[in-house]
Amino acid sequence: MPSTTTTFFFSFARSLLPLSYSRRRLRREASMGSPSLSFVSSEKNTSYASFSSSSSSSSGAATRGRRKSRFRVTTTAVTNTNNNNNNDREEGEEEEEEEGEEATTITKTTTTTTPSPFIIKKIERKQRGACYGCGVKIQTVSPSAVGFVSELDYETKKKNKQLDLLLCLRCSNLSNGQMINAVVGQGGQKIETGLITPEELRETLKDIRGKKALVVKIVDLTDFHGSFLPKIRDLVGSNPILLVVTKCDVIGKGFAMENNESLIEYVIEECAKKKLTLAGDPIFVAARKPGSSRSNSSVGNDTTAPGTRGIRGEDLNGMRAAVLTTIRERRGRDVYVVGSANVGKSTFVREFTKVLRTEMGNYFAPSKRLPTASSMPGTTLGVIPIKAFEDKKSLYDTPGVFLHHRVNSLLNGEQMKSLKLGGDLKVYRAPVSQQDGSSSTSNVNSSNNNSEKLKNVSFDWNGLVRLDILDAPETDDLNTVNVSFYGPKKMRIFKSTIDDMQKHADGGEKTCLFDESAPTREFYQSLPSLRVSREVEISLDDYKGKDLSISGLGGWIRVVRERNHTKYTNSPGAKGSITVRVWSLPGVEVFVRDVMPI
């Protein structure tokens, strides 16, 4: 028969096992956001006792009592006397049950913690399901609202536990080229059932501040200042930011990044002016797939002949550099892709996962069911997690931040589609003929416009922008001063005098002064009346000039003096400047910047 000391030692060691296990479990639950639990000490008259083979039933009763209370570990004093065994066991069970119920009641009344909003959203997404194309919650009630799928498709996926494989009706239509709005305020859209407000979209980004992540900030090169998001720190906190400049291939066929170090320096200087510290140098990528007929093959570090597909060792659209830099800078963290609406975030995410899988050999990156990419602002409506890295960390596509000072936030889908905003840019050099906007630098020296003065000239840029030259040196005309328009191919330019333009605008008819065709009239009448955005005085002495960037248009107006023109008559050192007035849609911001080296 074992001695009393040996029995007490083994019983004491056995009693500590549930205690240590409970502590480990409570720590783990506390770290996961579960309600905090507390241990209640046993009463003074309880003590550790010996557990022998004859008191196994008493030990089982105590264990059941501990499991029932969950929050308390007590032991029942027992003796080795067989006569008192049954009485002690009954008393121990009653004591354990009463104390367990009492401790449970106390804990329930004092527990006040709740799960974090991120955990709640994750649970709701898993239970109800979300569209993998736009990230919005799935619903089966209203086909006109966002996130709609048929009841049959939903029940089938739910039965097979495949709710993460659902694509909503709106994303399907966007993939087929339709322009369907889902955000209040886009194109003047009023509040309706089934639409999402810009404030709700911004609310989905607040969780980034509390996470340790790498933020990839996407900026549109054609609208650098309008899409920059100077207050991005309010959204992402102190997380490191990697800057990616996209749509470099729409500038023109002659644009080559490897020969344009001045553009990289220009971007770095602009970030320094806005007091934004970057993780590494800016990365420039193309908007289209490499090898396409419209893609500029000279965006990346290596170049090939136009129209050839990228092979291993060639970075035709700059995405390989973006992927390698992201992997180097993230250091085991999640990656969030953020930016303004319609700057190419979802396109970047799709190309990112493709390069990870096909060129980096990372087969954790998915090749199907990726975020929907379209030219409609507000395509992505929720945070979309993508398991793209080998360490089980995620790449997140996020909703675009709506900025109401941008042109593309004021146009509806049909207007954007007719203008082809976001497409290739074309440069129009003034002077242009009054009948059409198809002229370019070829008619600069035409005999009809050689003697036309610069002062009192007005330009109408497809009803969206109007430029009035209020004052200029008498010796300058449209040949000595280069007034160029960088914009989408579909946008037409008309030239007249300020008086004629203003008289036509005061008439109340929103039509083009020189084109009375039905499509042009219909487009002009669908736009609000232009308002004065700002007046700027531009110095012409340093030959540097200025760019007038129209936010959200994907284009700008450049005003600069020709350096070695034969008609330049101002003597060296003579001072001269030009004063311009810019008209734009209500609320659109016009940025005055140094000439971008393009």
**What is the reported pLDDT for 583?**
96
User: 120 with 103, same domain?
Assistant: no
User: 79 with 228, same domain?
Assistant: no
Nearest-angstrom CA–CA distance, 560 and 563: 9
User: 105 with 247, same domain?
Assistant: no
Domain boundary (90, 110, 130) is at 110
Domain boundary (352, 371, 402) is at 402
User: 468 with 330, same domain?
Assistant: no
User: 327 with 248, same domain?
Assistant: yes
User: 315 with 415, same domain?
Assistant: no
User: 295 with 341, same domain?
Assistant: yes
**What is the reported pLDDT for 118?**
52
User: 88 with 155, same domain?
Assistant: no
Nearest-angstrom CA–CA distance, 91 and 232: 65
Q: In residues, how long is the chain? A: 598
- Asked whether 392 and 173 are in contact (CB, 8 A), the reply is no
Nearest-angstrom CA–CA distance, 273 and 261: 19
Q: Which DSSP string corresponds to 404-430? A: TTSGGGTS-HHHHHHHTTTS-EEEEES
Domain count, the chain: 4
Nearest-angstrom CA–CA distance, 247 and 223: 10
CA distance to 50, 79, 85, per residue, from 54 (Å): 10, 10, 9
Residue numbers of the domain that contains 145: 116-178
User: 221 with 338, same domain?
Assistant: yes
- Asked whether 138 and 149 are in contact (CB, 8 A), the reply is yes
Whether 328 is in a domain gets the answer yes
User: 84 with 123, same domain?
Assistant: no
Q: Is 269 exposed, middle or buried (0-12, 13-18, 19+ CB in 10 A)?
A: exposed
Whether 190 is in a domain gets the answer no
Nearest-angstrom CA–CA distance, 424 and 255: 12
Whether 294 is in a domain gets the answer yes
Whether 598 is in a domain gets the answer no
**What is the reported pLDDT for 571?**
52
Q: Which residues of the chain, if any, have pLDDT below 70?
A: 1-127, 252-259, 287-316, 431-452, 564-575
* Helices and strands (DSSP H and E) totals, the chain: 14, 16
What CATH number does the domain containing 288 carry? 3.40.50.300
Q: Is 311 exposed, middle or buried (0-12, 13-18, 19+ CB in 10 A)?
A: exposed
| Structure tokens that stand for 25 in this block | 């479990």
**Residue at 183: amino acid letter:** V
Nearest-angstrom CA–CA distance, 385 and 401: 18
Residues 6+ apart with CB under 8 A from 335: 213, 214, 215, 216, 326, 388, 389, 393, 394, 395, 396
Whether 462 is in a domain gets the answer yes
User: 391 with 491, same domain?
Assistant: no
Domain boundary (402, 437, 472) is at 402
For 168-192, write each residue's pLDDT tens digit. Answer: 999 999 999 899 999 998 887 888 8
Residues 6+ apart with CB under 8 A from 256: 298, 299, 303
Q: Is 372 exposed, middle or buried (0-12, 13-18, 19+ CB in 10 A)?
A: buried
Bridge-based pairing of strands 425-429 and 394-397 is unpaired
CA distance to 27, 472, 481, 560, 572, per residue, from 578 (Å): 70, 4, 10, 10, 17
Whether 193 is in a domain gets the answer no
User: Beta strands of 274-381 (E only): which ranges?
Assistant: 283-284, 334-339
Residues 6+ apart with CB under 8 A from 407: 421, 464, 550, 551, 552, 553, 584, 585, 588
| Structure tokens that stand for 154 in this block | 């939903």
- Asked whether 243 and 271 are in contact (CB, 8 A), the reply is yes
Whether 325 is in a domain gets the answer yes
| Structure tokens that stand for 173 in this block | 């239509």
Nearest-angstrom CA–CA distance, 168 and 582: 42
Nearest-angstrom CA–CA distance, 583 and 40: 74
Q: Is the peptide bond before 282 cis (omega within 30 degrees of 0)?
A: no
DSSP state of 382: S
Closest CA to 209 of 183, 224, 193, 231: 231
Whether 357 is in a domain gets the answer yes
DSSP state of 248: G
User: 510 with 585, same domain?
Assistant: yes
For 187-227, write each residue's pLDDT tens digit. Answer: 878 888 888 999 999 999 999 999 999 999 999 999 999 99
CA distance to 40, 47, 71, per residue, from 58 (Å): 21, 14, 20
